[in-house]
């Protein structure tokens, strides 16, 4: 088939690579979000998908909105059979959805109908899911509600951050997306409507959602830290300034600390929760680079009885 691929961040690149390398389908163009300011200089930078497409000599389309008439005219001119999508980042209007004969097929990083929305992997980790996966489905105007072509499952490991899990799903999902394109092209694959039961929502995780509540059980604190890593980053307050929690680990055998209370040993930093303690392994103080928690604790000279979250 002739394809127009839509995607923006690094997590979409493995799927684009798989389609380019397939030899069976032609990636005629790529649709991605416009260049965005990045870094300290805030200079405009192309998305990872745009950069990969340019390396491969593929036309790159960067509409401000996918309903822009200039973009729609070019899309019709290309005449794709299907438009595979991975984390594009913009809502597609009906006028765009109607262009390809086989529609727009999204690779979504959950087992639909679970975790519909912008942050399925983060929510899966924060909810303590033991199994998650990826799904390919036909995009319609509802939120991730279209009929499903296929799924692949992935175990959520006890120490997984959302970044760890998303990386694995990006590669597993790339194979699923390619197999879905193959099945659509040869007529062996039909989309099946999602069940009405089991729908859960995964809205974008805000900075406030990533604020750690030390009165919560240690299990919950661990999941929030892992689910919000690398973005938006779990955080707390220490001496009136924000402290980012980069890496932590539960310590079930230690139950002697009050919620938020700090305990510092030579190479360990513990903090109390509503149940057992967690050990801080890596932190990032405001305006600083990430560092080992023990080094941070030595630098700030924590006093007995000091606490986080105050």
Whole-angstrom Cα distance, residue 174 to residue 185? 17
Whole-angstrom Cα distance, residue 148 to residue 135? 7
CA distances from 27 to 4, 20, 182, 188, 211 (A): 6, 6, 13, 21, 42
Per the rule left: phi > 0, alpha: psi between -120 and 50, beta: everything else, 185 is alpha
**For the chain, give me the number of helices (H) and strands (E)?**
8, 15
User: In sequence order, what are the residues at sequence separation of 6 or more whose Cβ sits closer than 8 angstroms to the Cβ of residue 240?
Assistant: none
Tokens of 171: 């590669």
Whole-angstrom Cα distance, residue 300 to residue 94? 56
Helix extents (H) in the chain: 13-21, 48-55, 69-78, 94-97, 120-127, 162-186, 218-227, 293-300
Residue 259 marked as a ligand binder: no
Residue 110 marked as a ligand binder: yes
Whole-angstrom Cα distance, residue 78 to residue 76? 5
Annotated binding-site positions for (6S)-5,6,7,8-tetrahydrofolate: 110-113
Annotated binding residues: 110-113
């Amino acid at each position: 088939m002739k394809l127009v691929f839509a995607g923006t961040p690094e997590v979409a690149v493995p799927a684009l690579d798989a389609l380019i390398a397939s030899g069976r389908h032609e990636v005629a163009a790529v649709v991605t979000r416009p260049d965005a300011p990045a870094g300290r200089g805030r200079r405009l930078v192309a998305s990872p998908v745009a950069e990969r497409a340019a390396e491969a000599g593929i036309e790159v389309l960067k509409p401000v909105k996918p309903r822009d008439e200039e973009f729609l005219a070019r899309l019709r001119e290309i005449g794709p059979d299907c438009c595979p999508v991975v984390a594009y980042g913009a809502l597609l209007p009906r006028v765009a959805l109607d262009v390809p004969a086989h529609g727009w097929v999204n690779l979504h990083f959950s087992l639909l109908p679970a975790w519909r929305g912008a942050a399925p992997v983060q929510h899966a980790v924060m909810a303590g899911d033991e199994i998650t996966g990826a799904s390919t489905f036909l995009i319609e105007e509802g939120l991730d509600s279209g009929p499903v072509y296929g799924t692949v499952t992935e175990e959520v490991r006890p120490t997984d951050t959302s970044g760890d899990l998303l990386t694995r799903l990006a590669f597993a999902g790339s194979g699923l997306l390619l197999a879905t394109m193959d099945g659509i092209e040869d007529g062996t694959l039909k989309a099946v409507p999602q069940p009405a039961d089991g729908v859960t929502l995964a809205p974008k995780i805000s900075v406030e959602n990533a604020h750690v509540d030390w009165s919560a059980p240690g299990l919950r604190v661990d999941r929030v830290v892992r689910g919000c890593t690398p973005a938006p980053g779990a955080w707390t307050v220490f001496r009136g300034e924000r402290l980012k929690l980069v890496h932590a680990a539960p310590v079930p055998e230690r139950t002697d600390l009050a919620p938020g209370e700090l305990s510092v040993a030579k190479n360990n930093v513990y903090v109390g929760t509503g149940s057992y303690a967690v050990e801080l392994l890596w932190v990032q103080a405001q305006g600083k680079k990430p560092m080992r928690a023990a080094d941070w604790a030595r630098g700030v000279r924590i006093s007995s009885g000091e606490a986080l979250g105050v």
